[in-house]
Amino acid sequence: MKFKTKLITLVVAFFAAISFALPSQVNAAKGDQGPDWSKYQGASGRYGTDQDKFVIAQIGGTYGGTYIDQWTYDSQIASAKAARKRVHSYIWYGVGGSSQLGLEALDRYMPRIKAQTPKGSIVALDYEDGASGNMAANTDAILAGMRRIQAEGYTP
């Protein structure tokens, strides 16, 4: 879990630095920490420490066009809200170099994210494997997804 949390943090920080400003609703402070939740942390999630300020929960994702929804997303978000934690989301983004597939994944998941998390919260794209051999196409697919997230009022 530590590696994945660091990876998500680095990806968010990198893209925020290149062109995406973080809205004030995110309210992140230096040193804030929180767990990365998926189905493996159960219906209510599990915190790492008493200092956790937020959670980032996986809504599901695409593996080359096959969608797998996380049954725990709604209950984990509800649990985090009840604990007065900030809530964020991430999508497993196995889209390779296909911007179209990435936008289709966002079509599927953004309505549910909008129903559960506040505008300005983070929506991370977890792009770990399945890259195509075309680095430019892979980058374009990620950037297209991030632009869409920002256009929806969320922080990529």
- Which domain, by its residues, includes 86? 53-156
**Quick check: is 6 in a domain?**
no
Task: Write the DSSP symbol of residue 21.
Answer: P
Helix (H) or strand (E) holding 136: helix 135-151
pLDDT value of residue 29: 78
pLDDT value of residue 122: 96
**Quick check: is 45 in a domain?**
no
Q: What is the mean pLDDT of residues 34-55?
A: 95
Q: What is the mean pLDDT of residues 40-53?
A: 95
Alpha-carbon torsion angle 156, 58, 61, 125, nearest 10: 20
**Quick check: is 61 in a domain?**
yes
Of residues 16 and 144, the one with the higher pLDDT is 144
Task: List, for residues 99-144, the tens digit of each pLDDT value.
Answer: 999 999 999 999 999 999 999 999 999 999 889 999 999 999 999 9
Spatial distance between the Cα atoms of 77 and 109, rounded to a whole number of angstroms? 14
* Residue of 24, 5, 27, 31 whose CA lies nearest to 126: 5
Q: What is the mean pLDDT of residues 7-33?
A: 56
C-alpha distance from residue 95 to each of 63, 99, 130, 138 (Å): 7, 7, 7, 8
Domain with residue 148: its CATH number is 3.20.20.80
**Quick check: is 77 in a domain?**
yes
| Counted domains in the chain | 1
* pLDDT at residue 19 tops 70: no
**Quick check: is 14 in a domain?**
no
pLDDT value of residue 10: 44
